[in-house]
Amino acid sequence: MIPDDGYGGMGVSTIRVLIAKPGLDGHDRGAKVVARALRDAGMEVIYTGLHQTPEQIAEAAIQEDVAVVGLSILSGAHNTLVPKVIQLVKAKGGEDVLFLVGGIIPEEDVDFLKSCGVAEVFGPGTPTEHIVEYIRQRVGQRPQPGRGSPGGGP
């Protein structure tokens, strides 16, 4: 059931997530599985499609006013791409965005990514419920900035 916001629509607290595929690898099965799982958990998921530059992803994150950006990378270029995306999003005013990374990330790179601002790295085999739960805990209670009333009132 869709929670009622008194206007016959949903409340303002719906979590919006951008799922993006930066760089050159063309494997988006994992990204789509996660997108689907988050959708089924009641979130609004914006999927960017393949081969996105960090600039495109950052612009999309700001325009869509998302609370979470999930980056799926299987190309090995994560140490270059991820910090770039985070830096651009923050520069454009997305200080509160939660960054998650999925894909093939070697254990030894996880600490580096976290030091760049990644909240968590989810490798292959992560149950999707973990990701859902993690996002809910980190974003759920926090008021989402910049979100207007959907009611149409002034």
Pick the binder of another protein from 22, 23, 35, 94 (CB under 8 A).
Answer: 35
d(CA 148, CA 35): 24
Amino acid, single-letter form, for residue 62: I
C-alpha span between 53 and 124 (Å, rounded)? 23
Nearest CA-CA partner of 61 in 35, 31, 93:
93
Q: x-or-dash pattern for another protein, window 43-72, by CB under 8 A?
A: xxxxxxx--xx-xxx-xx--xxx-------
2 binds another protein (CB under 8 A): yes
CB 1 within 8 A of CB 29: no
Answer yes or no whether residue 75 interacts with another protein by CB under 8 A.
no
Rounded (10°) angle between helices 128-139 and 29-40: 60
- Asked if 139 interacts with another protein (CB under 8 A), we say no
CA distance 75 to 88: 21
Applying CB under 8 A, among 95, 108, 115, 152 the residue interacting with another protein is 152
User: Near another protein by CB under 8 A, which window of 70-78, 112-120, 122-130, 144-152?
Assistant: 144-152
93 binding another protein? (CB under 8 A): no
- The yes or no reply on residue 38 touching another protein (CB under 8 A) is yes
Which residue ranges make up the site for another protein (CB under 8 A)? 1-3, 7-10, 14, 35-36, 38-49, 52-53, 55-57, 59-60, 63-65, 148-154
